[in-house]
Amino acid sequence: MSSLRQKALQLLTRREHSRFELAQKLAKLGSAEEITAVLDHLEQTGLLSDRRAAAAYLAGHAARFGTARLKYALRLKGIAADLIDAGLEGDMAAALGSEESRAREVWRRKFGRAPADAREWARQARFLQSRGFSTEAITKILRATQDDDV
């Protein structure tokens, strides 16, 4: 069990992990009972926290992705829906900025100029949509750029 704990600590020193992620990475190294015991101990000592893992992920990725993509990625990491919502709407929301402002910055870095025609407009919209930004935010940004002739 000590080697299992040691491996878990090595993984946690590199970056924050959710309980689910850590359990997956440790699955081949021990039995389910051993892994559960190690993860319970790490949570009790404060070394493992889904809340911190979600906050760290959001801090590192929110500037490049929209809310839909962030929610999806956090669900894949095994973060509970209430923690995801709290992270995206709570304290982190102020630090992240609005989805529209994040989408505008991503658009500015990638394109920087208004779409010249409908084909280009669709291409830019698809790019922003693939990053998980809402249709409402995408439409506002692309219409504003056409009006402003950025």
Report the 10 Å Cβ neighbour count for 61.
Answer: 15
Q: 77 CB contacts (<8 Å, ≥6 apart)?
A: 18, 20, 21, 53, 54, 57
Structure tokens at 124: 């830019």
pLDDT digits (tens, 9 = 90+) for 28-72: 999 999 999 999 999 999 999 999 999 999 989 989 999 999 999
- Whole-angstrom distance, CA of residue 47 vs CA of residue 75: 21
pLDDT value of position 33: 94
Q: 2 CB contacts (<8 Å, ≥6 apart)?
A: none
- Whole-angstrom distance, CA of residue 95 vs CA of residue 15: 20
pLDDT digits (tens, 9 = 90+) for 28-38: 999 999 999 99
- Whole-angstrom distance, CA of residue 48 vs CA of residue 64: 26
Report pTM: 0.84
Mean pLDDT of 116-133: 95
